[in-house]
Amino acid sequence: MAAKKKKTSAKSSEFKGFEPYKEKKGEEYMNDKQVEHFKHILDAWKKELMEEVDRTVHHMQDDASNFPDPNDRASQESEFAMELRARDRERKLIKKIDESLADVESGEYGFCEQCGIEIGIRRLEARPTATLCIDCKTLDEIKEKHIG
């Protein structure tokens, strides 16, 4: 039986490979050091996701021919479908990371794209691709619920 234990990719929606930023008192928001900090997070996260995508593609190519039994092949195919959905999410995430990196370059990173206030270091560390402050995000979600 092909009961290979899969490594789950649950962690791909968050990235923990960094030390939380320690602000000095009175430090300016998004100064060079902070920008550098988030650029590093975004770069490292993107690299991790891209390696994950690569790994799956190779893994699927290796495995595809190894299941002569139709039952094995069927379960393999549904596993592949799940993998592909996960990879699709990761690709979208990589796209968002690229957008955030572009914001870093243009100096817009860390500020709410709707109202312009500071998104905040802790919120950005929890969600490095955030483009909205918590208030605008909450409002957005309420609006979405009304439409959907």
Q: Which residues bind Zn ion (CB under 5 A)?
A: 112, 114-115, 133, 136
Contact 110, 124 (CB under 8 A): yes
Give the type of residue at 133: C
Neighbour-count burial of 132, counting CB atoms closer than 10 A to its CB (0-12 exposed, 13-18 middle, 19+ buried): buried
Of residues 86 and 136, the one with the C-beta less far from Zn ion: 136
Neighbour-count burial of 44, counting CB atoms closer than 10 A to its CB (0-12 exposed, 13-18 middle, 19+ buried): middle
Question: Rounded distance, CA 148 to CA 144, Å?
Answer: 6
Tell me the closest approach of the beta carbon of residue 110 to Zn ion, in angstroms: 12
Tell me the closest approach of the beta carbon of residue 131 to Zn ion, in angstroms: 9
Tell me the closest approach of the beta carbon of residue 65 to Zn ion, in angstroms: 52
Of residues 94 and 112, the one with the C-beta less far from Zn ion: 112
Of residues 2 and 115, the one with the C-beta less far from Zn ion: 115
